[in-house]
């Protein structure tokens, strides 16, 4: 299958089956925004829950946090986002299309390396290669300019500069702001990490490749604090890379041949990071960043100490040595994980399309059908089974069309098991349980259904 075809098929399936809808569609749409429909919200939530279980609840050295979207505006000055969360943009003077200079170059010259290039260098590449506007075809660009991605808003009814605040551009800063409170309110000792999931916002104005890059997105970030004198940061960094890889390949079931690591070179790496690597997934538009990991040293805590005047250091309980902890930060977008999961699980067979999602993250674990919707005795028995199952698993109900059509639609949603209640059921108390992947249909006693499905999901 052509790679672009796959993307089109996923976008269409997502709309058809209620995973992802274009944002604000009835008003003609809003670029780079999407709505998550009934199947999408379940899938997104399951990925988030799996992340939380794997990285927060499942570990003895991690705690969680849910900080605010609107933080004190000094946060973003201290963190460097007001000055540094920028994209280099150009504008076409003929049709006023604005586009990220690196995207413009990458689309026109796929082999050109653009990471870490300055505005002047990007300008020179565009001019030397005569790259035309992809919208109107003219070659009349403004010089490359920095454009800040933070969304601004204001608090209260008077729009004065003192009331200006930002929607958070990453969840990470909330963790640094609460660092002291977490130390004071829990029994954590270094090394320990804080995990957080929640919305972040960036004013992305160029084409986002479906839910890969959007204006608002769900981040899942960890700040792992440690004492640089007692912990070897390189070993810790490698251990976190292993954990990230294990989550993606085992929990999310991604084919490892579609993944790779790429280390940021000196030009690309943020000035405060000692090492940054991206786990990249092979999206239909090429290998792109899925999940970043950076050794941010003590940069953020030091900055917040400077700007707030508060002491954010840690005292070693054994030696009483006082110091500012360092951090390693694995940071991922849940929406990007979801895009990958949908692409990687898409399967086509002669007579059907299905999503081979790991049962743990599938939107519904099981669907229940009465063979015929106009036979009250079948509907009543199926309803009883539905009510019993729904307390244990996310369960779907379908009594429209024939059973073949119901299988077809559940396959496209990725439901691992479909249960049909037929006339035989009324006599022997057994139902057919159809397996999404093998299409086998064993008959199982109703009494054993919860165990049968529970063992497999």
- The single residue among 10, 99, 172, 293 that binds ligand GAP, judged by CB under 6 A, is 172
Q: State the residue number with the nearest CB to ligand GAP.
A: 333
Q: Decide if 333 contacts 218 (C-beta within 8 A).
A: yes
DSSP H helices, 258-333, are 299-308
Nearer to ligand GAP by Cβ, of 106 and 289: the residue is 289
Residues 45-84 that bind ligand GAP (CB under 6 A): none
Asked if 103 interacts with ligand GAP (CB under 6 A), we say: no
Q: Decide if 416 contacts 365 (C-beta within 8 A).
A: yes
Nearer to ligand GAP by Cβ, of 276 and 415: the residue is 276
Residues 289-318 that bind ligand GAP (CB under 6 A): 289-292
Pairing of strands 152-154, 164-166: antiparallel
Nearer to ligand GAP by Cβ, of 176 and 226: the residue is 176
CA distance 3 to 284: 5
Name the minimum Å distance from CB 17 to ligand GAP: 22
Asked if 420 interacts with ligand GAP (CB under 6 A), we say: no
CA distance 435 to 401: 20
Residues 304-342: b if buried by 16+ CB within 10 A, e if exposed:
bbeeeeeebbbeeeeeeeeebbbbbbbbbbbbbbbbbbb
| Torsion angle, alpha carbons of 231, 235, 239, 244, to 10 | 110
CA distance 70 to 200: 10
Q: Taking CB under 6 A as the rule, which mask of x and - marks residues 327-366 in contact with ligand GAP?
A: --x-xxx-xx------------------------------
Name the minimum Å distance from CB 209 to ligand GAP: 10
Name the minimum Å distance from CB 447 to ligand GAP: 45
Name the minimum Å distance from CB 190 to ligand GAP: 20
Asked if 170 interacts with ligand GAP (CB under 6 A), we say: yes
CA distance 7 to 9: 5
CA distance 418 to 409: 11
Residues 208-267 that bind ligand GAP (CB under 6 A): 213-214, 217, 219, 221
Nearer to ligand GAP by Cβ, of 46 and 219: the residue is 219
The residue count for binding ligand GAP (CB under 6 A) is: 19
CA distance 51 to 62: 12
**97's torsion region: left (phi>0), alpha (psi -120 to 50) or beta?**
beta
Name the minimum Å distance from CB 291 to ligand GAP: 5
Name the minimum Å distance from CB 284 to ligand GAP: 16
Q: Is 430 helix (H, G, I), strand (E, B) or coil?
A: strand
Name the minimum Å distance from CB 218 to ligand GAP: 8
CA distance 426 to 420: 12
Name the minimum Å distance from CB 44 to ligand GAP: 12
Asked if 202 interacts with ligand GAP (CB under 6 A), we say: yes
Nearer to ligand GAP by Cβ, of 65 and 433: the residue is 65
Name the minimum Å distance from CB 213 to ligand GAP: 4
Residues lying near ligand GAP in the complex (CB under 6 A) are found at 170, 172, 202, 204, 213-214, 217, 219, 221, 289-292, 329, 331-333, 335-336
């Amino acid at each position: 299958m052509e790679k672009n075809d796959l993307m089109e098929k996923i976008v269409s399936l997502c709309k058809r089956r209620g995973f992802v809808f274009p944002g604000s569609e009835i008003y003609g749409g809003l670029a780079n925004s999407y709505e998550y429909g009934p199947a999408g919200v379940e899938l997104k939530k399951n990925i988030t829950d799996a992340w939380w279980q794997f990285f927060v609840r499942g570990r003895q050295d991690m705690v969680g946090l849910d900080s605010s979207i609107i933080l004190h505006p000094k946060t973003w000055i201290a963190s460097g986002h007001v000055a540094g969360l920028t994209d280099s943009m150009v504008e076409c003077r003929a049709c006023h299309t604005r586009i990220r200079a690196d995207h413009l170059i990458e689309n026109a010259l796929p082999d050109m390396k653009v990471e870490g290039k300055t505005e002047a260098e990007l300008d020179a590449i565009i001019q030397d290669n005569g790259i035309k506007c992809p919208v109107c075809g003219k070659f009349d660009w403004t010089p490359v300019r920095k454009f800040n991605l933070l969304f601004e808003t204001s608090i209260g009814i008077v729009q004065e500069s003192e009331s200006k605040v930002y929607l958070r551009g990453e969840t990470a800063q909330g963790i640094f702001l609460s660092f002291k409170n977490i130390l004071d309110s829990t029994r954590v000792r270094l090394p320990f990490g804080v995990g957080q999931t929640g919305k972040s916002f960036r004013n992305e104005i160029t084409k986002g490749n479906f839910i890969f890059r959007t204006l608002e997105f769900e981040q899942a970030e960890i700040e792992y604090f440690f004492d640089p004198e007692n912990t070897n940061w390189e070993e810790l960094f490698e251990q976190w890379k292993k954990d990230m890889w294990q989550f993606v390949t085992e929990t999310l079931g991604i084919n490892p041949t579609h993944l790779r690591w790429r280390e940021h070179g000196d030009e690309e790496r943020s000035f405060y990071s000692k090492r940054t690597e991206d786990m990249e997934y092979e999206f239909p538009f090429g290998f792109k960043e899925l999940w970043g990991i950076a050794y941010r040293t003590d940069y953020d805590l030091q900055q917040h100490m400077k700007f707030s005047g508060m002491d954010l250091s840690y005292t070693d309980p054994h030696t009483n040595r006082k110091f500012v902890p360092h951090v390693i930060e694995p940071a991922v977008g849940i929406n990007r994980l979801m895009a990958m999961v949908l692409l990687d699980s898409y399967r086509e067979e002669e007579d059907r399309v299905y999503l081979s999602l790991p049962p743990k993250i599938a939107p519904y674990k099981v669907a229940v059908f009465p063979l015929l919707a106009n036979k009250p005795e079948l509907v009543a028995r199926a309803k009883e089974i539905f009510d019993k199952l729904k307390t244990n698993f996310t369960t779907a109900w379908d009594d429209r069309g024939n059973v073949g059509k119901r299988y077809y639609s559940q396959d496209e949603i990725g439901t691992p098991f479909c249960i049909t209640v037929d006339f035989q059921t009324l006599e022997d108390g057994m139902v057919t349980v159809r397996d999404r992947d093998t299409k086998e249909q064993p008959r199982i006693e109703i009494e054993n259904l919860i165990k049968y499905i529970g063992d497999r999901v």
